[in-house]
């Protein structure tokens, strides 16, 4: 995840005291800005990370930071009890807290002008001139209305002598910014809202547990999830758990009554040997005539029509509870930093911004337009214009829905393509296991089946193919449950085609008549794709469209900012660090050095540090200098001395395993303890292969599906281009390796900024790869390191040289 619009300085003079904040640049003519943050509407995991980032970034930027307690109710009530100035330490440890520590409440008074008048008066009395609101569409609508009315509100306050002339002059403009906290993920113009993936994680874990008991008794389960006007949670959970049927408000059954359609699909799945049935119902699910569909309705149909032993589970507020997953902590943090930047950039004429995320990029969108689009979806549903409702949803939502419908039909319906258009498409895993590999294989195979293609699995990598001809057609029944399993069901290893034997591999490609290949894996997979493309001249069997889906916890594959498995690994590491930090906090003046996997990539250590609030992180890209180590020890000493024994003050140091050839975690901990002179002591903690994760995260499951379907579509679209080069009479003359169109059919599918992109392997291999270090030349997460350091007050030696 990148923060391209952040402007935190990398070279800035700092004060000597901890936390190391910039030296004051304020002059008598420059008024210090006061920025307040509030959380409103329903609580969402990650809100505390958002507040923490806003408070600390405001302070780092030389502003005063305030929090408004209890949402808009706090604005209306006012006073120091509800509008509080916060310091650096007031938000310590908030990353791991669920809910919102500053409270939220529904406030009918703020919907009235007199309530907003009181809110304006109380903000002015507190000296606040900018407000950042974290909430849903209702909360953000109220915020923009508040800003629009601000000139008339303060004029009325002045005329009624409720504020002074100086106050009227000083606070003529109120800058507003929104960050979206909502588990429903129902805000238009952003791919994800704070809390949505944490809620999805709860749902998927619950359904994973339900699947086990359902299998034992061959039962059906109806699971209700939240989502009043948005079916995102139900849809994504349906993909992540391979649910048999979903009911969402945006897409009622169009071809037939939902009862008949559901029974038809469930019956086909059962007839193929499936022992379990899971139907997911969004709380806002409706029929085409707008009649609500309840879990009881679904239960009755499954019992009466299919005679299935059926149970109902309503997850309720469990979906809101608990600590945030790594994605939400990082998203909330980066959006909090950008919200402060946006406020400081705003003028009286700047439209109120909404901080969004598109693919992997933090962006600013006009707040009121985003809210308007969001409300339009609900209006379209009420008008029974479901096509418009889908058109108003983001393209990623529509893509996910189409993918779910395709993979759910698998080989149970007539093929969509004529026989002459069907292809033999193979999939292979290369490298270490990574969360989401099985999701990619399952989705590739089921999507192929729905189209009419024949999917093949190459078992145990290229050596499995070369030595044992380990090729097997994939069938639906054998893959039941793969979507939610960790590891690699088809096996994987690190050997490249050249190491395994190109002659054998080419002969089996020819024997099985492969028309396309999908490789899922890390840097070895990247090298493998380049080798296959480079040897197309000698081996016509390799003249097929080939796509690499990056999958590695290191996230070190050129051509993408996200790899399958990196989110699962990050969550596993974050949960481990939360436990370790709790242990550190329980023992006075204790720090832990946590050793992080990732090879020569510091991605995992950097993002884990950001998610867990680690005081220090060491990565291979920077190494560990004696000067920086000495400064970090001094920083820790100062922070522990200032803590004065306060609770929740355990410290974490994240160290990538390859950050230093000399300093391993245990040695680093020993040296830190010795140099601390009794101020603190340090222990080492090595999670090892725990970081590869257990069950894949919902992000890795759903992205694995999305990337796999995109890869199959790429092969479909480029198959006709490659066929003539394999079928020509003069094979040698039919292929020109310098033909860019042909070379582009061997490609890496990745996320770059705000887009999914196919990038030719040759271009990446020759221009964007550091082959010796097994890394991309451009480190896309570099800005995240600066933010992680600034938010814990770390002093970087390199910044002051």
166 is catalytic: no
The answer for residues whose C-beta is within 8 angstroms of residue 191's C-beta and 6 or more apart is: 356, 357, 358, 359, 394, 396
553 is in an annotated binding site: yes
571 is in an annotated binding site: no
How far apart are the C-alpha atoms of 625 and 652, rounded to whole Å? 19
16 is in an annotated binding site: no
290: which 2 tokens? Answer: 């707008």
555 is in an annotated binding site: yes
Catalytic residue among 43, 184, 244, 567: 184
590 is in an annotated binding site: yes
Give the DSSP letter of residue 365.
E
The answer for residues whose C-beta is within 8 angstroms of residue 568's C-beta and 6 or more apart is: 434, 435, 436, 486, 553, 692, 693, 695, 696, 697, 700
The rounded radius of gyration (Å) of the Cα atoms in the chain is 28
450 is in an annotated binding site: no
228 is in an annotated binding site: yes
137 is in an annotated binding site: yes
**Residue in 684, 691, 682 with CA at minimum distance from that of residue 576:** 691
How far apart are the C-alpha atoms of 571 and 323, rounded to whole Å? 11
Q: SS3 for 616?
A: strand
734 is in an annotated binding site: no
671 is in an annotated binding site: no
**Residue in 561, 482, 544 with CA at minimum distance from that of residue 711:** 544
N- to C-terminal Cα separation, the chain: 29
311 is in an annotated binding site: yes
774 is in an annotated binding site: yes
271 is in an annotated binding site: no
136 is in an annotated binding site: yes
449 is in an annotated binding site: no
Residue in the block written with tokens 């699909």:
265
Residue 593 backbone dihedrals phi, psi, to 5 degrees: -95, 115
175: which 2 tokens? Answer: 């800058």
Q: Which stretches of 644-697 are DSSP H helices?
A: 665-675
255 is in an annotated binding site: no
46 is in an annotated binding site: no
621: which 2 tokens? Answer: 């890209």
479: which 2 tokens? Answer: 């893959």
Query: Following DSSP, what letter does each residue of 666-681 receive, concatenated?
Result: HHHHHHHHHHTTTS-E
263 is in an annotated binding site: no
> Residue 280 class from Cβ within 10 Å (0-12 exposed, 13-18 middle, 19+ buried)?
buried
691 is in an annotated binding site: yes
139 is in an annotated binding site: yes
26 is in an annotated binding site: no
Which residues partner with 510 through β-bridges?
none
336 is in an annotated binding site: no
Residue 775 backbone dihedrals phi, psi, to 5 degrees: -145, 155
Percentages (nearest 5) of helix, strand, coil residues in the chain? 45, 15, 35
Which residues partner with 624 through β-bridges?
none
115 is in an annotated binding site: no
- Torsional sign, CA 114, 115, 116, 122: positive
201 is in an annotated binding site: no
**b/e code 177-207 from CB counts within 10 Å (16+ = b):** bbbbbbbbbbbbbbbbbbbbbbbbbbbbebb
How far apart are the C-alpha atoms of 268 and 565, rounded to whole Å? 32
554 is in an annotated binding site: yes
Where in 606-753 does DSSP place strands (E)? 616-618, 651-656, 681-685, 746-752
689 is in an annotated binding site: yes
- Which residue positions form the known binding site for substrate? 182-184, 219, 226-228, 283, 311, 317-320
Binding site residues for Mg(2+), as ranges?
137
Binding-site members are: 42, 106-107, 136-139, 182-184, 219, 226-228, 283, 311, 317-320, 494, 552-556, 590, 597-599, 683, 689-692, 774
| Bind-site residues for beta-D-fructose 2,6-bisphosphate | 494, 552-556, 590, 597-599, 683, 689-692, 774
Instruction: Report, as residue numbers or ranges, the catalytic residues.
Output: 184
Binding-site residues for ATP, please?
A: 42, 106-107, 136-139
């Amino acid at each position: 995840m990148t923060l391209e619009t952040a402007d935190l300085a990398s070279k800035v003079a700092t004060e000597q005291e901890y936390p190391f904040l910039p030296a004051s640049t304020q002059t008598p003519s420059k008024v210090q800005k006061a920025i307040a943050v509030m959380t409103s509407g329903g609580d969402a995991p990650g809100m505390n990370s958002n507040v923490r980032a806003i408070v600390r970034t405001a302070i780092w930027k030389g502003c005063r930071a305030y929090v408004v307690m209890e949402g808009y109710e706090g604005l209306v009530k006012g006073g120091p009890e509800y509008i509080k100035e916060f310091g650096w330490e007031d938000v310590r440890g908030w990353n791991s807290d669920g809910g919102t520590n500053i409270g939220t409440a529904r406030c009918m008074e703020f919907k009235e002008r007199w309530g907003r008048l009181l809110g304006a008066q109380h903000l002015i009395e507190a000296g606040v001139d900018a407000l950042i609101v974290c909430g849903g569409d209702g909360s953000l609508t109220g915020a923009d209305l508040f800003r629009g009315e601000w000139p008339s509100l303060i004029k009325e306050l002045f005329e009624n002598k409720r504020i002074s002339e100086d106050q009227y002059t000083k606070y003529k403009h109120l800058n507003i910014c929104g960050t979206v906290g909502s588990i429903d993920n129902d805000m238009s113009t952003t791919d994800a809202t704070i809390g949505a993936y944490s809620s999805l994680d709860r749902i998927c874990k619950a359904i994973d547990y339900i699947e086990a008991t359902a299998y034992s008794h061959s039962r059906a389960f109806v699971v209700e999830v939240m989502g009043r006007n948005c079916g995102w949670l139900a849809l994504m959970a349906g993909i992540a758990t391979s649910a048999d049927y979903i009911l969402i408000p945006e897409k009622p059954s169009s071809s037939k009554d939902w009862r008949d359609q559901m029974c038809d699909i469930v019956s086909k799945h059962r007839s193929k040997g499936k022992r379990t049935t899971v139907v997911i119902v969004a709380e806002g699910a409706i029929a085409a005539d707008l009649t609500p569909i309840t879990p009881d309705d679904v239960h009755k149909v499954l019992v009466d029509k299919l005679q299935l032993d059926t149970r109902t589970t309503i997850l309720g507020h469990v979906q809101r509870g608990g600590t945030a997953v790594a994605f939400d902590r990082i998203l909330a943090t980066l959006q909090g930093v950008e919200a402060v930047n946006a406020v400081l950039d705003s003028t009286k004429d700047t439209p109120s911004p909404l901080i969004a995320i598109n693919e992997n990029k933090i962006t600013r969108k006009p707040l009121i337009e985003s809210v308007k689009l969001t409300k339009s979806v609900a209006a379209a549903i009420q008008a029974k214009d479901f096509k418009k409702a889908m058109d108003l949803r983001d393209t990623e939502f529509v893509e996910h829905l189409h993918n779910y419908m395709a993979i759910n039909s698998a080989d149970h319906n007539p093929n969509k393509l004529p026989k002459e258009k069907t292809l033999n498409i193979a999939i292979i895993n290369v490298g270490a296991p990574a969360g989401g590999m099985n999701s990619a294989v399952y989705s590739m195979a089921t999507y192929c089946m729905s189209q009419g293609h024949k999917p093949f699995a190459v078992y145990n990598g290229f050596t499995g193919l070369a030595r044992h001809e380990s090729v097997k057609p994939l069938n639906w029944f054998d893959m039941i449950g793969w979507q939610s399993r960790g590891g690699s069901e088809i096996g994987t290893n690190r050997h490249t085609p050249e190491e395994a034997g190109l002659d054998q591999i080419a002969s089996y490609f020819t024997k099985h008549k492969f028309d396309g290949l999908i490789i899922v894996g890390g840097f070895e997979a990247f090298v493998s794709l380049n080798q296959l493309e480079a040897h197309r001249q000698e081996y016509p069997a390799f003249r097929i469209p080939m796509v690499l889906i990056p999958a590695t916890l290191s996230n070190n594959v050129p051509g993408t900012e996200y790899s399958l498995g990196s989110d699962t690994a990050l969550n596993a590491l974050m949960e481990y660090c939360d436990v370790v930090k709790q242990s550190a906090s329980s023992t006075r003046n204790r720090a832990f050095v946590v050793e992080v996997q990732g090879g020569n990539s510091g991605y995992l250590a950097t993002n884990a540090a950001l998610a867990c609030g680690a005081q220090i992180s060491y990565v291979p890209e920077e190494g560990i200098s004696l000067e920086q180590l000495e400064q970090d020890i001094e920083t820790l000493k100062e922070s522990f001395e200032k803590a004065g024994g306060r609770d929740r003050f355990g410290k974490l140091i994240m160290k990538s395993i390859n950050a230093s050839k000399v300093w391993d975690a245990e040695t680093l901990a020993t040296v830190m303890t010795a140099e601390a002179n009794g101020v603190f002591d340090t222990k080492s903690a090595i999670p090892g292969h725990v970081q590869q994760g257990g069950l894949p995260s919902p992000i890795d499951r759903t992205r694995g599906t999305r990337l796999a379907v995109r890869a199959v579509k790429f092969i479909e679209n480029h198959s006709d281009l490659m066929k003539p080069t394999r079928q020509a009479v003069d094979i040698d003359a039919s292929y020109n390796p310098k033909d860019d169109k042909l070379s582009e059919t061997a490609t890496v599918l990745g996320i770059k900024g705000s887009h999914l992109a196919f990038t030719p392997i040759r271009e990446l291999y020759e221009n964007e790869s550091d082959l010796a270090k097994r890394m991309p030349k451009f480190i896309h997460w570099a800005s995240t390191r600066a933010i992680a350091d600034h938010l814990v007050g770390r002093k970087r030696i390199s910044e002051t040289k």
